[in-house]
Amino acid sequence: MENLDQFRKETKEWLEVNCPPEMRKPMGPGDVVWGGRNCKFPHPDAKLWLQRMGEKGWTCPTWPKEYGGGGLSFDENKILQEELMAIRARPALSSFGIWMLGPALLEFASEEQKKKYIPEIVKGEIRWCQGYSEPGSGSDLASLKTKAEDKGDHFIVNGQKVWTSYADDCDMIFTLVRTGPQEPKHDGISFLLIDMDQPGVTTKPIKLISGKSPFCETFFDNAIVPKENLVSELNKGWDVAKRLLQHERNMIAGMGLGGGGSAKKKKDQAVSSGMATMAKTYAGEENGKLADPALRQKIASFDINSHAFSLTMRRASEESKSSNSGPSPASSMFKYYGSESNKLRYELMLEAMGTKALGWEGEGFGPAELAITREWLRTKANSIEGGTSEVQLNIIAKRVLDLPQ
Amino acid sequence: MSLVLNEEQIFLKDSAKKFASEKTPTTHFREVRDSEIESCYDDKVWQEMVSLGWTGILIPEEFGGSNFGVAGISSILEELGRTLTPSPLFSTAVVGVSLIKHANDDVKKDILSKVVEEGLRLCFAIEESNHHNPLKIVCEAKKDGKNYNISGEKSFVIDGGFADKVIIACRTSGKEGSKNGLSLFVVDANAKGLTVTPTKMVDSRNAANMKFDNVKVSSDMLIGEEGKAYEIIESVLDISRAAISAEMLGSALQAYEITLDYLKEREQFGSKIGSFQALQHRAAIMFSELELCKSCVIESITSFDEGGNDSERLASLAKAKVGEVFHLVSNESVQMHGGIGVTDEYDIGLYLKRARVAEQIFGNSDFHKNRYAELTGY
């Protein structure tokens, strides 16, 4: 306990000195720092902040020190996050390398691969995207057809990936490819790391019902991949893929959080619900209560579930703290509940805002209102991406509840 | 608040689990139900609970209790809920004891020591209408020198049919709906002028209707200050709501596990029915909902012992969420059992009956959703 107090003190002091003032201001939509070879920084302080945090390994606080991570324990990381929150520090770096690829590499990659790729992720030098889905392989991901042919010291890759987020801005893509066309479908897949800076790789953005999106199609046309970029063994890529999907599910599940229900009550301070506050603004209030009783009832149900869900995320983290286990099949539960909950959140906002939530662009609507409309449409993908809600329920039924095939 | 139990609480939970499986499996519930025992519980089992010290878990050590806290007694109730164990443990050791703790020292000493040592049975007479409402009280106590005379009617008094002491919430002033003017008194169950009519409920437990006709009670039996009982009532109700949520969670988990086993055994169309996606998805949704319930219950029951400042809202969170999910699980469980699900021979229907009664205790899900919204500022 004494060590933790000391750690908190040192962390506080370090952050005080090293977190630039500009990085303690609220973030706008364009202020996310994704890293990469062509990283765009919204402000010179953002570059400085990333450098400092990257050197300390605190962009990936719990990863091992030998690969550039912070080497912090669960409790130390909790303190770090609390202290970052206390000064309202912006995240120094956001990336799929941190959320998805890194944990899988730490578990499956060779020593050389870890030494090469993990520090780049920690420092934000390389920006990664994910090449999983294909036009013909959505929920049935293992039916994927993009093929890699063995050419001695390298592979030649041909095929197409879809839903590759930010592919047009990324440096590298971690990709599932078919290397064993004769094997049963799960046993002929390999996990390849592909450099996108080559003529054989091209990308094309996808427009969604919500408008412009970070999603792309990515085409491989005789792309060249050195043999040392194979992670784990040949035809063993599915094991890596499954693990990585669990990390992705945890990430998407986190989006179901927030909202009034989960707000913590500070001493002598009234609690509030973001949703209810908004509904009062748009739908009116009477004597401090939401004027529309039916809407009020729906928001209360939503807040209760949201509160219960955030407690469950916390409980899972407290329970896994001692056992030190990675994500479990129960991550499907969080993915299912979190994405369904996030969809419901936006449906309720739309209901609360009435016609104010129905603008597409231009006059008559505030920027925040227009953003909510777009985000409402965007949330429809939450229960599809990273495995549909139906696929999550299948996984819970089979792997958690052990129901018969 | 803690979202995992400590060693002490795990110990209590384990001993309750052992007790329930050895002494009070659902066959015990059926024996009592089908017997001539009017109280709907077995006195021998009650005395065994007393000798295990369970009635003293919320009682301070100076009065002979163990003071293991709300999380301790709730962990026991969760396990007893799994086998639908009938007993006046909730009404006595949670509700009654929590109320008596606010009484004067002589009353505390007398009653609490008897609860710990002899299993003196307590009940709380608060409801006056078909829906829980702690402010809808017209039952009246009129001061008469050193005494009070109580008149009025009470209903749905849990375990009230066979209790030894009744704690009654009534008005010494103020109108129905007002927070001011509420007072609490301890009354002997066989006091002159008190008529107790036991009511056998659909879950085969007892509640009671009570009629007070000028029941004379000494002012020593007043709990707290005259007219200022509202805060005591609410704080005791919150502890009780959290504890009954734990019991309901135990019952819901058991009903769910019984059903999951059945899905793995029962064959139709040449396959185990658990292989059908139509049932798998519903089972997976129930699993997720129950995980949420576990978190609400443990957060709520530990908040009282750890001095949390959001206990009221957490009690409503737990009662609202668990009430809803217990309905979901009990309805789905009967449906997934098919025809045998509606027979008396199978246990699953017993959980459905218990769910409906337990949900009404100290506020159903709608009541607590509304209260949660109020406490959250809308």
- B216 lies in the same domain as B235: no
B376–A273 CB contact, under 8 Å: yes
The verdict on A348 touching B (C-beta cutoff 8 Å) is: no
Report the CATH number that the domain containing residue B269 is assigned in CATH. Answer: 1.20.140.10
Work out the mean pLDDT of chain A and round it to a whole number: 91
Residues of B in contact with A291 (CB under 8 A): none
CA dihedral sign, ordered A158, A164, A169, A173: negative
DSSP A88-145: TPPPS---HIIIIIHHHHHHHS-HHHHHHHHHHHHHT-S-EEEE--BTTBSSSGGG--
CA atoms B241, B247, B249, B255: torsion sign:
negative
* pLDDT reported for residue A326: 55
- The pLDDT-based confidence of A320 (bands split at 50, 70, 90) is confident
Chain A residue numbers touching B272 (CB-CB < 8 A): 404
Residue A268 or residue A347, greater confidence: A347
CA–CA separation, B367 vs B369, rounded Å? 6
Each residue's pLDDT tens digit, A104-152: 999 999 999 999 999 999 999 999 999 999 999 998 999 999 999 999 9
The pLDDT score that the predictor gives to residue A330 is 78
Gap from B171 CA to chain A (nearest CA, Å): 27
Q: What is the pLDDT of residue B148?
A: 98
Establish whether A2 is a catalytic residue.
no
Same domain, B258 and B296: yes
Which tens digit of pLDDT belongs to each residue from B57-110?
Answer: 999 999 999 999 999 999 999 999 999 999 999 999 999 999 999 999 999 999
- The whole-number average pLDDT for the span B2-31 is 95
Pairing, β A230-231 against β A189-195: antiparallel
- Cβ–Cβ < 8 Å for B150, B139: yes
How far does A32 lie from chain B, in Å, by closest CA? 32
> Same domain, yes or no, for B238 and B324?
yes
Regarding the domain delimited by A257-400, which CATH topology (the fold level of the hierarchy) does it fall under? Butyryl-CoA Dehydrogenase, subunit A; domain 3 (1.20.140)
Q: Is the minimum CB–CB distance between A218 and chain B shorter than 8 Å?
A: no
Mean pLDDT value across residues A349-356: 95
Residue B345 and residue B253 in one domain: yes
Our CA-based measurement puts residue A339 at a distance from the nearest CA of chain B, in whole angstroms, of 13
Instruction: List A158's β-bridge partners, or say none.
Output: A147
By CB neighbour count within 10 A (0-12 exposed, 13-18 middle, 19+ buried), where does A21 fall?
A: exposed
Residue B303 included in any domain: yes
Answer yes or no: do A404 and B373 touch at CB < 8 A: no
**What is the rounded average pLDDT of the residues A376-394?**
93
Q: What is the mean pLDDT of residues A343-356?
A: 95
How many domains, chain B? 3
Considering the domain architecture, whether residues B240 and B370 belong to the same structural domain is answered as yes
The CATH architecture to which A128-239 belongs is Beta Barrel (2.40)
Asked if the structure places residue B113 within a domain, the reply is yes
Would you state the pLDDT for residue A28?
A: 83
Element (H, E) at A189: strand A189-195
Q: What is the CATH number of the domain that holds B93?
A: 1.10.540.10
How many contacts (CB atoms, under 8 Å) link A and B? 134
Report the alpha-carbon distance of residue A124 to residue A41 in Å, rounded. 12
Give how far A338 is from chain B: nearest CA, Å.
Answer: 11
Residue B146 has pLDDT above 90, yes or no: yes
- A16, A248, A347, A385: the catalytic one is A248
Rounded CA-CA distance B313/A273 in Å is: 13
> Which residue type does A66 have?
E
Look up the pTM and report it. 0.89
Confidence at residue A256, expressed as pLDDT on a 0 to 100 scale = 54
DSSP A293: H
Give the best-scoring range by mean pLDDT among A316-320, A365-369, B151-155. Answer: B151-155
pLDDT at B126 over 80: yes
Q: Decide if B378 and A402 are in contact by the 8 Å CB cutoff.
A: no
- CA dist B194 and B213 (Å) reads 6
d(CA A128, CA A164): 10
The predicted-structure confidence for A207-236, as pLDDT tens digits, reads as follows 999 998 999 999 999 999 999 999 999 999
Residues B114 and B13 in one domain: yes
Q: What distance in Å separates the CA atoms of residue B168 and residue B378, rounded to the nearest whole number?
A: 32
Evaluate whether residue B237 is within a structural domain: yes
Matching residue, tokens 């209102």: A369
Distance set, CA A92 to CA A35, A36, A46, B297 (Å)? 9, 13, 7, 37
Question: Which among B120, B141, B170 is the end of a domain?
Answer: B120
In whole angstroms, what is the distance from residue B291 CA to residue A344 CA?
19
Residue A87 has pLDDT above 70, yes or no: yes
> Which residues in B lie closer than 8 A to residue A271 (C-beta atoms)?
310, 313, 375-377
Exposure string for B102-111, b = 16+ CB within 10 A, e = fewer: bbeeebbeeb
Mean pLDDT over B178-206 rounds to 97
| Domain-located, residue B254 | yes
Both B91 and B29 in one domain: the answer is yes
User: pLDDT band at residue B352, thresholds of 50, 70 and 90?
Assistant: very high
Q: Domain range for residue B156?
A: 124-229
Mean pLDDT of A368-397: 94
Q: pLDDT tens digits for A297-307?
A: 999 999 999 99
Q: Give chain A positions within 8 Å (CB) of B2.
A: 318
Boundary residue ending a domain (B229, B263, B278): B229
Q: Per-residue confidence at A264, pLDDT binned at 50, 70, 90?
A: very low
DSSP 8-state secondary structure symbol assigned to residue B24: -
What tokens were used for B154? 């009470």
pLDDT at residue number A259: 39
pLDDT over 80 (residue B290): yes
**Predicted local distance difference test score (pLDDT) of residue A42:** 92
Q: Which CATH number is A2-94's, of 2.60.120, 1.10.1740, 1.10.3470, 1.10.540?
A: 1.10.540
Give me the percent of chain B exceeding a pLDDT of 90.
97
Burial B59-78 (b: 16+ CB within 10 A, else e): beeebbbbebbbbbbbbbbb
Instruction: Say whether both B368 and B235 belong to one domain.
Output: yes
Identify the pLDDT of residue B247: 98
Beta-bridge mates of residue B208: B198
pLDDT at A262 over 50: no
Which CATH number covers residue B224? 2.40.110.10
Q: Does B111 lie in the same domain as B155?
A: no
> DSSP labels for B26-89?
HHHHHHHHTSS-TTSS-HHHHHHHHHTTGGGTTS-GGGT----HHHHHHHHHHHHHHTT---SH
Predicted pLDDT of residue B373: 96
Q: Tell me, what DSSP letter sits at residue A398?
A: I
- DSSP E strands in chain B: the ranges are 122-125, 140-144, 147-154, 165-171, 182-188, 194-200, 206-218, 222-223, 267-268, 271-272
* Domain endpoint, select from B120, B152, B186: B120
Distance of CA A257 to the CA centre of its chain: 13
B259 and B224 together in one domain:
no
Q: Residue B173 carries which side chain, given as an amino acid letter?
A: S
Residues belonging to chain B = 378
Give the ranges where A180-292 is alpha helix by DSSP (H).
237-253, 274-283
Question: Is residue B1 assigned to a domain?
Answer: no
Please tell me whether residues B358 and B251 are part of one structural domain. Answer: yes
- B296, B317, B378 member nearest A289 (Cβ): B378
Strand B147-154 relative to strand A147-150: parallel, antiparallel, unpaired?
A: unpaired
The confidence score (pLDDT) of residue B276 equals 97
Q: What is the CA radius of gyration of chain A?
A: 23
Does residue B348 surpass a pLDDT of 90?
yes
* B178 and B90 share one domain: no
Provide the residue ranges of all domains of chain A, joining segments of one domain with +.
2-94, 128-239, 257-400
- Which region among A326-340, B204-218, B284-298 has the lowest average model confidence (pLDDT)? A326-340
Residue at B2 is within a domain = no
